[in-house]
Every structure is written in C-alpha cells, then in structure tokens.
A and B are shown apart, each in its own frame.
Chain A
Amino acid sequence: MSIAYINDDAFHPSNDDYERWSKDGWEMVVGLEVHVELATKTKLFSASPNRFGDEPNTNIDPVTLGLPGALPVLNRQAVELAMRLGLALNCTVQKSTFARKNYFYPDMPKAYQISQYDEPINIDGWLDLPDGFRVGIERGHLEEDTGKSTHVGGAGGRIHGSDYSLIDFNRAGVPLVEIVSRPDIRHPEQAKGYINELREILVAVGASDAKMEEGSMRVDANVSVRKPGENFNTRCEIKNVNSVRSLGRAIEYEARRQIALHEADEPVVQQTRHWDENDGRTHTLRSKEDADDYRYFLEPDLVVVDPGIEWIERVRDALPVLPAERRAILADAAGQSANSEAVMVVAERGQDDYVMDVAKLGGDAGVALKHVKEAPELAEQVPVESLATLSKMELSGVITASQAKTIVAVMIESQNVDPEVIAADLGFEAMDNSDLEAMVDQAIAGQPEAWEKFCAGEGKAMGALVGAVMKASKGQADGKAVTALFQTKKP
C-alpha cells in the first residue's frame, strides 16, 4: 500500500472529548452512507425468497448464482419500497437506470454488481432530526447485495491468511437502497440522531426492518475536520460500524485522529478505514490509489425504470404518518416539546396512538404520556378507558401523582383495570387542604432548624420538611401541593 507515512496505524490521538477540541476551533464534517435491505418477498432480480437466517445456499437460483445465460428481471415491490422511503425522505423520485459495477470477489457471483449509478431513483431530499436540525439527502439508489463470505482459519476472519472460505449466496441479490447524506453532520450526536431517525422512518414506511445487528442496516461514515467556514479537507471513509453507539465512537475517534494530524502538519490521506470495536480505533483498510476501477457502464440487460407520475403519487398518498409528525401530534396534545424524552421514547415504541386515544376519551394526554413512558406495559395490558379515567382522577386532584403511580402498577399486575375501584380498595381519598395544612404546620414545629434554613433560602432543607409530611400522610400527599403550602408559610 502506498501511504504517505508508515506509522499510520500506530498513531493514536489523545483520548479527550469532542467539547475540548471543538473549543479549540475544529469542527467535524460527516456524511453518512447507509445501506438498508428492503423488506421484499423476493430478491431484486429473481424470484428466490429474500429471507434472513435460512440454511446457507437455499435461497438461490440461476440469476442469484450468475450462471451463464441467466438474466435479471427487476422486482416491482423493490421499486415501490425504494420510492416509499425516498418520498418519506422528501426526495424527488425520477426516471432511473441501472449500471454494472465491475470487480472480482468470490461472493460477487457475476463479478459485477447491478447498481444505480448516475441516474438514481431518489435524489435531493432531507431528514429533520427531532431537534430540528436538517440533514440533506443526496440520493437513495437501488442495488443488489452480495453473498456472505466466511473465512475459516488464519487470523481475524479476514480472507488473507485463511485456510479456506465458505460462501453463502442467500444474501446475494437481496435488494438494497443506499441512502447517501450530504456532509451536513457536525457532531457525533447528530450522526447518531440521524441513524435513529432514519431507522424509525424505514420501519414506519415498511421499507426495511433496519436492524444493524442483523446487517439489514449498514452504516459507513465519511469524516473530515476543518476550521468552521474553511473549505472541506480530505476525508476518510469509516467502515465496519455495527451499532449506533459505535458510530458515535468511531467518528469521534476519527475526527480526533485527523485533528492531531492537521495540528502536527501531517497530511490526511484519503482512504478507507476499518473501525475496530475492541481497541476503539480506526485502521487503514485501503488507500485511494488502491481503489478498484469499477468500469461502470449502463446495464444492457435492464431497461429504464420510469414509474410515472401516477404510481409515484399513489405511493406518496399511501405513506403513513411519519415519526416526526407523530411526535409533533403527541407533543402538542401532551403540552411538551417534540424532542422531550417522554415524547421520543413513547413515539419510538409506537405507543403514541394509545396516548392519543386517552385524550380522545377526554383523558389527559400529558398525564397519560408520563405513565406510559414509565410503564410501557400499560399500552399492551390496560384498556385505554382505564387510563383515561385515571388521568382525569389525577388531574382533578382526586388522587395524587404517587397514588396514580401505585394504581398503574396494580392495573398492570392484577386483572383489575378499574382505577376507581382500586383507589377505593387502597383507601385513597383526596386529602383536603385543611388536613394537609395541619401536617405542614406539624412538620415546621417538629423541625425548626430545617424550617429556618428553608426560610433563609436553602432549598435543600425542603427535603426533610416534605419528607415529614409524606410520612404523616402515609405517602398520599401530593408533593407539589405540599411544597406550595410550605412556600405560603414563609414569613
């Protein structure tokens, strides 16, 4: 390999954090290339099943194996799913073509991959992260997957030095869409957020199950660093990133590596680098000079894909409500921000409909959201009517927040789903203010030192005072109301 310096892989930057070097005036520039396997019944160009986990080499046929005389026939469902995800990513769906990408590898049966090249089906879209940050989408194109090689013997499962290799062609010809972002990402958290949001969209539109651990979603990151406002510097492509967490670690490591090079006036060499989960570093895989010449040319065995405006609009009309909009609706109903933890978590679980149903029955969405976030089982096990009733009881002060939580636990554990019956059984009654006030006065009298400190502005002292009231009320008092009462007692 012709690399500018030999010690590349022995060079490791110091282990400090993003905030430190971003304060030093560097920013990372990241673009992501995401391959997703489409959830089609059959392969992109043949009738063999597209199924993960079957016995090796059972889902094969002459097209999959690239036998002489075999010809590809494009899978209509793959085109539809590609359009669906393209439209969900605000792309323009256009007339597209396939090309051949030529290279030799044992798990590449025809010695070329059929892939969209200069005329992809989806172009020019965007994806908004929950916090509103917008990442541009350059393209989302269709291509076929390769087979899977297993290298036996030798070190590290690499082909080099192995005793022999086994190939499973079940995956060969599985339809992929490669989604290429623009280099808009500036922070590891944005990269992770992009992948999380993309995954939710893919699942929502039914395009893919998008499981990184099963390889149905694979992420490569292009990383460079620069001083803000300056031109882009040389980038490196990071491969073998197998989880969202690794993605954050890998690009942060890579950015630090490049910053250290820049600061030492060493060149950053354009190359493909391999993320090693074990040592937490990226390593040189191949440099640009070694890159294959893929000799792309138009695939003569296929014709132009022109879905036509009617099909495109039909797909657009059939799109489900997308995750961002679901979150906005939920957030609005619950009176929270769309990227609040409760909204994010509940929407990701797909339990936002359950919360919205509570609101439709006159219940309180905000209260319901809080309980569903804490107790996901609610949505599966407790009728929406029960949560609606409970939320009304809590909101009106018939029961306190902590009582409501107790009732939720009972509803999930027992078969009893009537919150009013449970409240009665547990002897929960609304405490009137005179009872509370008596308890508050008692607490002040019992702990004069704490009271003095509280009045002097020591917030911490409040804990002991409220604790005393909670003890006296056997946990039934509403913490907020108690705090408010203490405030009014201040001299």
Chain B
Amino acid sequence: MNNNRTSAVDIAQNVRNNVKTAADFIEEHLARIAEHDGEIHAFNLVLAKEARARAAEIDEMVAAGRDPGPLAGVPVALKDNMCTQGIPTTCSSNILADWRPPYDATVVTRLREAGAIFVGKTNLDEFAMGSSTENSAFGPTKNPLDTTRVPGGSSGGSAAAVAADFAPISFGSDTGGSIRQPAALCGVVGVKPTYGAVSRLGLIAFGSSLDQIGPFAHTVADAAIGLETISGHDPGDSTSIQEGPLDLSRKLELGVAGLRIGRITDLPAGASPDVEQRTEEAFDALRAAGAEIVDVKVPAFSYGLTAYYLIAPAEASSNLARFDGVRFGMRTASTDTNRMYMATRTEGFGDEVKRRIMLGTYALSAGYYDAYYGRAQKVRRLIANDFSAAYEKADVLLTPASPTVAFEMGDKASDPLTMYLCDTYTIPSNLTGHPGMSVPFGTGDHGLPVGVQVLAPALKDDVMFQVGAALERSAPQRFTGSGEGGAS
C-alpha cells in the first residue's frame, strides 16, 4: 500500500498552481499500476499513452495561464461499462470484447472538461452482475489489501484502483450496491448518489431504473469533488434531475450537531459480529459529535432483496437483448438469423448474465408478470413509503454497507444466493432512488476494513456527505491486517 497518498484535491491544487506537473503525477500513478496491476488486475485496459498525452496538454494549459479545471491533472479510473469514444468498452464481457463506442458517456465528457486524466478502464463483474468481480470474462480482480480475497463487486476494479492508489478517484456504477459494497471491502469511500443526480447517458445499462454512477475515493472530500463534477442535469438523459451539480464540498465541515441519525431497529439480520460492532461504534462516534440517535422502523426493508432480484433481472433481460450480433460486438455465424442470435448470445455471455436474463424473462412473461414483476413493483413502492416514514423521524440512517469484510476468492462464486445476500443492506436505496454511501470505519476480522453505510432521502446527498465526513474524522484506522500477499 502507498502510505504517502496525495489526494485528488491536493493534486489539482498542485497542478493548477504550477507546483508540480500533471505529467509527474501521472508517471507516479502509472508506475504503481505497472508494478502492481499485473497481480491485482484492477484494469481491463491501462491508457498510459493517452494519459501522458493528456497530462502534457494540461501542463501546457497551466503554462499558458489557463485553468484546466477543478480536477486538473487528477488521474481517474473508469469502470469499463462507461462509453469512451474510440476506446474499448467491454463490460468485462466477451460479447463486447472488441467494441469501441463512437461516443463518450456524459460523465466522461464532464470529467475531461474538468481536467481529469483517464488512466484506464477498470474490471467488473460482467455487465455489472455480481458482488465479487469474479464474474469477469477477463479474470477476477484481487483485493489490494489481501490478494487472496475479493475486492467486492461489481465495481471491484474501480474500488481496487483507489485502494491501490492507482488513481485517487475512480468511478463505478451501483445497481444494487456495486459501489458501496466493494468500497467497504477495499477500505475506500464509495457513493451511490440520488437516482437522476448523475446522467446515465453512455453507461451501458444493467437495470435502468436502478443504475447510478458514483465515485470511489480515499477521502470523503475527494468523493465530493468527483461527484460534484459529474452531477447535474443532462438533457440527454430523460431521468436526470432538473437541478445543477450537487453542492457537497462546502458542507463537509458542518458537523453533525443537531442531526438525527436513525437506527433501523428491524434491519434484517445477517451482518457478522465484527461488522455489527463497528457499526455500533459509528453510532457512538456520531453521538459524541453531537448527533441525536433515533430508532426507526423500515418493515419492508427485508423484502428489498427479493424485489430487486425480480426487477433488476427483468430490466436486464430487456437491456441485454440488443446484444444480438447484428449491428455491433461479437457475432457467431450460423445458418439463419435465429440460430445466429442463439449462438452469439450463448458464446458471448457468461453464466451469471445468462442466469439473470432467464430470471428476468420469466418474471415478465405473460401469466407470471403479476406474481413476479408486478408484485415486485408493489413491494418497491412499499419500501419507498416505509423509508419516507423513517425520514420523518431521522435525517439520515446508518447501517452496515456489507454484511462481512472481504471474503476469500472462490468462497461464494459457486453459490449465487449467498452472493446475492452481499447486497442486503445496499439494495433498498436503489429501489427507492435514494442516495447511500459507504465510509471506512475501522477494521473487522483479519484486520480488514469495515464500511458503514449512510443513507439519506432523495436529493439530500449533501447531508449524507456531511455525516460521512464526520464519520471519517472519527474513524479508526481502516486497515490493520498483515497485507499477506498484499501489494506492498
């Protein structure tokens, strides 16, 4: 581990003030990537050449007296399901292995315009379906803190990239916890913003009504600046909010005095004792900082997982139907069109993707719709109602982000249901569209990091960050393990 990290905020300040060049920062990060990513495999693709060229441009701008923007020279890693013009965007799937999008995602455009430099495209569970990044067609990503363990998923590559300091900020997508759970497992900050706060244009869809892009960072302040950069209305995404960018960085020092922190008394059981204990300590820390702890009930919370595993696969079955071999991506030739579809999709998709396509197709089928998809949508409304009631009493809620610390590779790979339980605490906020973030808060078993999740009502991302920053200030050391097999 690199213990002399420079935050994104500091990098940008140094570059803008001409204290240190973007080229120098990029070389440092590329060197770490070259040294360690062979083992960690955070990246599907490292953009060394492009990053160096962009760093030179940034430095020229500074030399010419122009401001490259709030993320000037900051190395940024992108989950490989965000479209980058002319650069392979694979979703870690064979079906897209050679696909180069003809356009940039809105987040990519906004980051570039803010002066960020893309160092690479990060690994993920194929099409963002998984909780360990073991479902990648290009091999798993390892947890930089302990390479015998998973980084979580599906944005495991992005979480690992920040944990290994390959980049101070990375971006992932969160459909059921795919940012917050790997953030917890890798000991970094991970944020799923309010649905609609960040444009989904150019994000390759998994569950369109659930997907949201958000940042990973080593610090809450870096996550804030990363999210500020990418958020705000985009006319290209009909579901994006009408408001401008989120206003977060200015709120981080406000503290939590007078805020009501909700404890969900009927939270589904399942978190391991070490995680439970750290979560309790987080409540204590906030109370000590002046917050009031209140008990709330969210009775429908426990139905979230089942509703999610109908809604997300249903949308996925439709979203992934376009991968048919006709217009782009992989094609397996066959004797007629229907056989070509079948052969292409059979070869191109991995098992978990196929499983979810089948689940979703079934849930939407005539005769089953009412019992499955229709009922899941009702449960979704129920969960939203329960959260609304809870937020009458509390400003934010606190839960574990992941039921356990990072587990060993191969541990759950053969048992999808166990794997699905990883998202128990994160899924409800995707169903409601509310924001959630995972903040490292000390360690659990094996000295591995524990993440505490802060949940807030829609568009209260700023209050969530306010609490996240307070947690960060009082958090114990986030890694005390031996780092056996770790990347230094």
- Give B residues with C-beta under 8 Å from A: 82-83, 89, 91, 96, 99, 101-103, 105, 200-205, 207-209, 235-239, 314-315, 317-318, 321-324, 326-328, 337-338, 341, 361, 364-366, 369, 373
Contact = CB atoms under 8 A, between A and B. Distances in A.
Given A68-B89, A69-B203, A69-B205, A300 B239 contact: yes
A303 B208 CA distance: 12
A167 B325 CA distance: 14
Counting chain B CB atoms within 10 Å of each CB, the highest count among A100, A110, A295 belongs to A295
Contacts of B364: 102, 295-297
Given A69-B105, A295-B361, A104 B321 contact: yes
Contacts of B89: 68-69
B101 A73 contact: no
A257 B175 CA distance: 54
A71 B337 contact: no
Contacts of A69: 82-83, 89, 101, 103, 105, 201-205
B238 A301 contact: yes
A78 to B, nearest CB: 14
| 3 closest cross-chain pairs (CB), A and B | A111-B321, A300-B209, A295-B364
B341 A104 contact: yes
B347 to A, nearest CB: 17
A62 B96 CA distance: 16
Given A67-B328, A68-B204, A73 B236 contact: yes
Interface in A451-472: none
B239 A62 contact: no
A73 B239 CA distance: 10
B255 to A, nearest CB: 37
Contacts of A70: 201
Contacts of A102: 317-318, 321, 364
A300 B208 contact: yes
14 contacts: A68-B89, A68-B91, A68-B99, A69-B105, A72-B238, A104-B321, A106-B324, A106-B337, A111-B322, A167-B326, A295-B317, A297-B314, A301-B205, A302-B239
Given A71-B237, A297-B364, A62 B337 contact: no
Contacts of A62: 102-103
Contact of A293 (B83, B99, B366): B366
B261 to A, nearest CB: 32
Contacts of A293: 365-366
A74 interface: yes
A165 interface: yes
A303 B369 CA distance: 22
A66 interface: yes
A209 to B, nearest CB: 28
A166 to B, nearest CB: 12
Nearest to A107: B326
Identify which of A62, A72, A167, A301 gathers the most chain B CB atoms within 10 Å of its CB: A301
Contacts of A71: 200-201, 236-238
Contacts of A165: 337
Nearest to A291: B366
Contacts of A66: 322, 327
Given A295-B361, A301-B208, A68 B102 contact: no
A248 interface: no
Contacts of B324: 104, 106, 111
A193 interface: no
Contacts, number: 98
Contacts of B205: 68-69, 301
The majority secondary structure among interface residues of chain A is loop
Nearest to A62: B103
Interface in A55-83: 62, 65-74
Given A66-B322, A69-B89, A109-B327, 17 more contacts: A65-B328, A66-B327, A67-B101, A68-B89, A68-B91, A68-B101, A69-B201, A69-B202, A72-B238, A102-B364, A106-B337, A110-B322, A167-B326, A293-B366, A295-B318, A295-B365, A297-B314
Contact of B83 (A68, A74, A106): A68
A261 to B, nearest CB: 28
Nearest to B209: A300
A411 to B, nearest CB: 57
Interface in A338-379: none
A112 interface: yes
Contacts of A110: 321-322
A159 interface: yes
Given A71-B238, A102-B321, A104-B341, A300 B102 contact: no
Contacts of A109: 322, 326-327
Contacts of B318: 100, 102, 111-112, 295, 297
Interface in A283-323: 293, 295-297, 300-303
Contacts of B361: 295
A188 B201 CA distance: 49
A72 B200 CA distance: 11
B199 to A, nearest CB: 9
B481 to A, nearest CB: 38
B373 A297 contact: yes
A67 B341 CA distance: 16
B439 to A, nearest CB: 29
Contacts of B315: 297, 300
A231 B116 CA distance: 70
A67 B200 contact: no
Contacts of B314: 297
Nearest to B199: A71
A165 B336 CA distance: 10
A290 B147 CA distance: 52
